[in-house]
């Protein structure tokens, strides 16, 4: 296994302090995985406290020609923070301060290690919130959200992270600090903020984020629609869209998933249903009340057997608790599971669910479905047992089949989890060679040596071992 040279380690200790550097094997074990199924161990982890320290760390890594990967909370699901080529990991847990909350401008400036939900909690008393809300929002950090362009249940109305990031402070692989965007909207020039949001840490490391804050709505209504078939629930989404209604969220849980969730959270989901839709409307009181009736008509027209409206904030919170804690509920049933993240046009949801059911039978694996039905972002969860030889590979092949189907019906291989190392080889099926070449040229402008998060996002056609750096001698790391 590669080792960080003693000279570089001492330099990093000088920058971040002795307690800011980890290199013992038992410590590094904690940083070899994220929320997905892939693994890769760093050779050293460093915890900067300031932008200046990040710049100094990257400058030192450049001199030693060491690969670098940034890491937030490690909740990602596509291997984006896995150090596939070993080397140096820059972890942002210490950079967790809110630098400025500007309510008159509806802006906040935060460091990348700030937890997503903490932004909302900080401004909630003043009736504001931060809209992007991944299911991991109690743990995931803003830097990771920016890297992966994270979404969440409410993206249907509010959009994903990029729609709420106005500016960034970043550091390039050679230690150069630069800024993009700002508190003011519509800055002239190239949209570097948009380019870097979702670039998965392959171009620069983010050290500061300017985010948009939003006012809390006057009224919120949460609905549970219950069905005896997946197809009817899928058809409802198209029916709601056809009626010109845009809920802030439309979530679907199939029968397998809702039973796991109900057993774990007791949120009030019916154990005998084939599927449920969790629908949320918000806005002005009169408009929301009218939309509730329109949604009721759409659900009943699509053969919903029952239509419930949460009667209190507590009931609403319980329904969302079931949705947001779904992955934990799966863990009570299966020792291992593999979460996918494909997108299909809304009109294709019912057909896609039928296809996923066929994949389940073909591979002999249970697949449950919980997803953002409003924007067609599918999250099939494939249950498997890694202790049984070949089952992990079977689960991965099943996931790849599902993603290829998503592409075939006009969809995408990811809606919010990112490409990472999990889906990078599928990028050649999503994009033309010319488009991928342009992406490579853009990355090379920021990272000409290819040291920043290597082996991610763009297809290489190579295996993990081939992605490791070639032998380097002299003062630098020896690979």
pLDDT tens track for 84-125 = 999 999 999 999 999 999 999 999 999 999 999 999 999 999
> Is the torsion defined by CA of 60, 65, 66, 71 positive or negative?
positive
Q: For residue range 306-353, what is the model confidence (pLDDT) as tens digits?
A: 999 999 999 999 999 989 888 888 888 898 999 999 999 988 998 999
CATH match of 98-215 with 3.30.465.10: yes
pLDDT at 186: 82
1 pLDDT band, cuts 50/70/90, is very low
pLDDT at 466: 44
411 pLDDT band, cuts 50/70/90, is very high
pLDDT at 325: 85
Distance in angstroms (rounded) separating the CA atoms of residues 454 and 478: 17
From 345, 379, 328, select the one nearest 151 (Cα to Cα).
379
Residue 476 has pLDDT above 60, yes or no: no
Determine the topology of domain 6-93 in CATH: 3.30.43
Half-sphere exposure (Cβ direction) of 309: Cα atoms closer than 13 Å: 13
**Per-residue DSSP letter, 72:** S
Residue 370 has pLDDT above 80, yes or no: yes
Determine the topology of domain 219-328 in CATH: Alpha-Beta Plaits (3.30.70)
pLDDT at 350: 87
Residues in contact with 281: Cβ distance below 8 Å, sequence separation at least 6, in sequence order: 220, 221, 223, 247, 248, 288, 291, 292, 295
Region 261-271: what's the mean pLDDT?
A: 91
Region 158-186: what's the mean pLDDT?
A: 96
The CB density around residue 45, as the number of other CB atoms within 10 Å, is 23
pLDDT at 335: 86
Topology alike, domains 98-215 and 334-427: no
pLDDT at 472: 29
Report which of residues 449 and 267 the model is more confident about: 449
Determine the topology of domain 334-427 in CATH: Alpha-Beta Plaits (3.30.70)
Give the start-to-end residue ranges of the domains of the chain.
6-93, 98-215, 219-328, 334-427
DSSP state letters, 261-287: HHHHH-----TT-SEEEEEEEEESHHH
CB burial of residue 286 (10 Å; 0-12, 13-18, 19+): exposed
pLDDT at 3: 64
Residue 475 has pLDDT above 80, yes or no: no
pLDDT at 328: 81
Residue 469 has pLDDT above 70, yes or no: no
pLDDT at 197: 98
pLDDT at 473: 27
**What is the average pLDDT value for the chain, to the nearest integer?**
93
Region 49-66: what's the mean pLDDT?
A: 98
Region 203-219: what's the mean pLDDT?
A: 98
Q: For residue range 412-467, what is the model confidence (pLDDT) as tens digits?
A: 999 999 999 999 999 999 999 999 999 999 999 999 999 999 999 999 875 444 44
């Amino acid at each position: 296994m590669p080792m960080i040279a003693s000279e570089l380690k001492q330099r990093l200790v000088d920058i971040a302090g002795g307690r800011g550097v980890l290199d013992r094997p038992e410590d590094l074990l904690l940083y070899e995985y994220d929320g997905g199924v892939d693994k890769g161990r760093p050779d050293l982890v460093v915890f900067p406290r300031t932008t200046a320290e990040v710049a100094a760390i990257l400058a030192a890594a450049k001199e030693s020609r060491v690969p670098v990967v940034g890491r937030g909370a490690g909740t990602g699901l596509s291997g984006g923070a896995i150090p596939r080529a070993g080397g140096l990991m820059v972890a942002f847990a210490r950079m967790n301060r809110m630098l400025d909350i500007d309510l008159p401008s509806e802006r906040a400036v935060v460091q990348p290690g700030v937890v997503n939900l903490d932004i909302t909690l900080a401004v909630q008393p003043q009736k504001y919130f931060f809209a992007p809300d991944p299911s991991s929002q109690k743990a995931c950090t803003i830097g990771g959200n920016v890297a992966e362009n994270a979404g969440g249940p409410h993206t249907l109305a509010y959009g994903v992270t990029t729609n709420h990031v106005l500016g960034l402070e970043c550091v390039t692989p050679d230690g150069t600090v630069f800024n993009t965007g700002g508190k003011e909207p519509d800055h002239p020039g190239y949209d570097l903020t948009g380019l870097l949001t979702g670039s998965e840490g392959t171009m620069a490391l983010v050290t500061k984020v300017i985010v948009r804050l939003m006012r809390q709505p006057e009224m919120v209504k949460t609905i549970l629609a219950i069905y005896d078939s997946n197809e009817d629930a899928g058809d409802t989404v198209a029916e709601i869209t056809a009626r010109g209604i845009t809920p802030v969220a439309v979530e679907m849980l199939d029968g397998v998933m809702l039973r796991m969730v109900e057993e774990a959270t007791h949120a009030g989901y019916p154990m005998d249903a084939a599927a449920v839709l969790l629908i949320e409307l918000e806005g002005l009181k009169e408009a929301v009340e009218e939309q509730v009736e329109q949604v009721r008509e759409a659900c009943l027209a699509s053969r919903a057997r029952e239509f419930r409206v949460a009667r209190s904030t507590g009931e609403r919170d319980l329904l969302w608790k079931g949705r947001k804690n779904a992955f934990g509920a799966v863990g009570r049933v299966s020792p291992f599971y593999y979460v996918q993240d494909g997108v299909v046009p809304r009109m294709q949801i019912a057909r896609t669910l039928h296809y996923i059911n066929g994949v389940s039978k073909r591979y002999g694996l249970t697949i449950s479905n919980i997803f953002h039905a409003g924007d067609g972002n599918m999250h099939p969860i494939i249950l498997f047992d890694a202790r049984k030889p070949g089952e992990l590979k079977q689960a991965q092949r099943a996931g790849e089949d599902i993603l290829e189907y998503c592409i075939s019906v006009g969809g995408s291989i990811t809606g919010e989890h990112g490409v990472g190392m999990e889906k990078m080889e599928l990028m050649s099926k999503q994009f033309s060679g010319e488009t991928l070449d342009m992406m490579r040229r853009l990355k090379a402008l920021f990272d000409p040596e290819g040291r920043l998060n290597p082996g991610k996002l763009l297809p290489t056609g190579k295996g993990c071992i081939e992605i490791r750096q070639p032998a380097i001698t002299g003062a630098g790391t020896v690979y």
